[in-house]
Amino acid sequence: MRRPALLFALVAAALVVAAPSASAHPLGNFSINHLDRLKVSSDRVDVVYILDQAEIPTFQERGFSSAQVLTRKRAEVSRRLELRVDGRVVPLAFAPGAQISYPPGQGGLKLTRVVLPLTARVAHPRVVSLRDGTFPGRVGWKAIVAQPGSGTNVHSNVAASDPTNGLRSYPKSSLSSPLDVRDAALSVKPGDGQLTAPRGDGRVATTHNRSGDGFAGVFADAAAGKGVLVFFLLAAFGWGAVHALSPGHGKTMVAAYLVGTRGTARHAVALGATVTVTHTIGVFALGVVTLLLSALILPEQLYPWLNLVSGLMVVVIGATVLRKRVHQHHDHHHHHHDLTTKGVVAMGASAGLIPCPSALVVLLGAVAQHQVALGLLMIVVFSLGLAGTLTALGLIVVYAQGHVHFSSRLATALPAISALVIVSAGLVLTVQAVPKVV
C-alpha cells in the first residue's frame, strides 16, 4: 500500500497482463460470472441460473465437496435472486436438473461451472421483474437474457441473445466491456410465444424474435446430450418448414415467379432442391467467412450489408424479367413461356441465397461447442424443411393455375405483374436494409 502511483491490484495485473497463456480465465482469475435465462409463460416463470467461477474463487471452496458447493450456490441464489410478478415477490423453487462441473483452468487449478434450473408457478403474469443480486461486489460477467415462453407476448428490457454461449466463451474485443446486467423488467400479455427484446450489441434498435431462437435452443439441448438425435433432426426439419413461412424468405418471390413463368410440378421440385442447396451453401459460406472475420467484424455488423446486397440482387432479377416481358410484348413475339430447369435454379439460388441468422447461429454454436458434425447435419435438415415448404407452395401455385381458368388478358398480364411483384419485394428488402447500413 506504499506506492501511490501503482495500483492496489498489482498482482492481479501480473496475473492477467503478462499472461499470454490461452488457458487463463478471460475475465480474470478472480471473476465470478453469472447469467440468468428468463422465460415467462402464461402459467409459469422459468429461470436457468448459470455460474462460471474462475480459478481463485474455486480454490477458495476447495474444502467443500461438489454437493456442498452446489448447496452453497443454491443458498446464495435463494437469498439474492428475486422474482417479482405483478409487484409481489414470488418464490423460485429449484427444479430438477442441477449440474456442477470443474473444467480445468490455469496453473493446474480448476474452474467451477454450475447450472441451476428454477421455476415458479404463476397465473397470467402482467409485469415480471428479476433482480440478480448474487455475489455482490465480485467482478465478472453479469447478465440476464429473456427467452420466449409459451402463451405469452413479452416485451423485455434485456436482450434475448447471449454472446457468451452460456458463459462458455466471452467476447474478446477490447472495445466492449463485460456485461453488468442484474435487473430485468418484462411486460407480459397473452400471446403465442412472442418476445421483443433489445439487440445484444447494446444499441437501441429492437428486433422481434419469432417463436424465439427455437432452432438454436434445440441445438443447445442436443449438445447437452439430452434426447435422441432423430428427434432433433425432426425438430430441425419442422423448424425449417415453419421458418419458410416467416416473412422475408422469398416465398412471395418464388410463387410469383412460378405463376409468371407457368412452371410445372417438376420445376417446383427443382426449385425446392435448389433452395436447399443454396441455403446450405450460404450458411456454410457465411459461417466460414464469419469465423475468419470474427476477430475483425461482428456478425451483426455483417448482416445489414448482406441484407442490402440481397435486396439489390432481387431488384435486378425482377427488373431483368420485367424488361424481357415488356420487350416481348411489343415485338408480338410470343414465345411459349416454358421454363427450363436452369431458370428455376437461378430463381431458387437467389431465394435461398441469404441464410437466416437462426441457421448461422446454429452453425457457429456448433463450432464453438466442438459439435461441428451435428451442426452441419442439422443445417442440411433445416434447409430441407425450408425447401419442402417452398416446394409445396410452388406445387399449390402450379396446380391452382392448371385448375383455374384465367381470362386471356389476365394470362397476358400475369407475367408482367409477377415481375413487378419481384421488383417490389426487392425494393422493400433494400429499403429495409439501407437504414441499418447508413
Partner 1 sequence: MHQLRSHIGEGPLLRALAVTLAVFAAALGTFVLVNQRGSDAPSAAGGVSVPPSASTDTRIASYQQLVRSHPSDSRGYDFLGDAYMQKVRETGDASFYKRADGVYTKALQLNPRDPAAVTGAGTLALARHDFSAALGYGQRARELAPFSFQPVGVVVDAQVELGRYQDARRSLQQMIDLRPNLSSYARVSYFRELHGDLSGAIDAMKLAVSAGGGAAENVAYVQTLLGNLYFAVGRRADAREAYRTALETFPGYVPATAGLATVSRRARALRLYRSAVARLPLPQYVIALGELQQAAGKRPDYALVRAEERLLQASGVNTDVDLALFEANHGSPARAVSLAKRAWAAAPSVRSADALGWALTSAGRPGQGLHWARRGLALGSRDPLFLYHAGMSAKAAGRAAVARAYLSESLALNPRFSPLYAPRAERTLKELGA
Q: Which of residues 179-208 bind partner 1 (CB under 8 A)?
A: 180
Show contacts with partner 1 in window 316-375 (CB under 8 A).
Answer: 320-321, 324, 335, 337-338, 340-343, 345-346, 348-350, 353-354
CA 7 to chain centre: 41
Min separation Cβ 19 and partner 1, Å: 4
Show contacts with partner 1 in window 119-148 (CB under 8 A).
Answer: 137-140
Residue among 90 and 309 whose Cβ is closer to partner 1: 309
Size of the site for partner 1 (CB under 8 A): 86
Show contacts with partner 1 in window 29-68 (CB under 8 A).
Answer: 29-31, 55-57, 59-60, 62
247 binds partner 1 (CB under 8 A): no
Q: Using CB under 8 A, which of 19, 242, 319, 416 touches partner 1?
A: 19
| 3-class SS letters over the chain | CCCCCCCCCHHHHHHHCCCCCCCCCCCCCCCEEEEEEEEECCCEEEEEEEEEECHHHHHHCCCCCHHHHHHHHHHHHHHHEEEEECCEECCCEECCCCEEECCECHHHCECEEEEEEEEEECCCCCEEEEEECCCCCCCCCEEEEEEECCCEEEEECCCCCCCCCCCCCCCCCCCCCCCECCEEEEEEEECCCEEEEECCCCCCCEEEECCCCHHHHHHHHHHCCCCCHHHHHHHHHHHHHHHCCCCCCCHHHHHHHHHHHCCCHHHHHHHHHHHHHHHHHHHHHHHHHHHHHCCCCCHHHHHHHHHHHHHHHHHHHHHHHHHHHHHHHHHCCCCCCCCCHHHHHHHHHHHHCCCCHHHHHHHHHHHHCCCHHHHHHHHHHHHHHHHHHHHHHHHHHHHHHHHCCCCHHHHHHHHHHHHHHHHHHHHHHHHHHHHHHC
Residue among 30 and 237 whose Cβ is closer to partner 1: 30
Min separation Cβ 20 and partner 1, Å: 8
80 binds partner 1 (CB under 8 A): no
Residue among 22 and 228 whose Cβ is closer to partner 1: 22
Show contacts with partner 1 in window 269-298 (CB under 8 A).
Answer: 274, 277-278, 281-282, 285-286, 289, 293, 297
**Of 293, 418, 430, the residue nearest 354 (C-alpha):** 430
Min separation Cβ 259 and partner 1, Å: 16
Of 43-51, 238-246, 313-321, 374-382: span binding partner 1 (CB under 8 A)? 313-321
Residue among 29 and 161 whose Cβ is closer to partner 1: 29
Binding mask 159-178 toward partner 1 (x if CB under 8 A, else -) reads: --------------xxxxxx
10 binds partner 1 (CB under 8 A): yes
Show contacts with partner 1 in window 399-428 (CB under 8 A).
Answer: none
382 binds partner 1 (CB under 8 A): no
Min separation Cβ 299 and partner 1, Å: 12
Residue among 33 and 147 whose Cβ is closer to partner 1: 33
Residue among 144 and 218 whose Cβ is closer to partner 1: 144
209 binds partner 1 (CB under 8 A): no
238 binds partner 1 (CB under 8 A): no
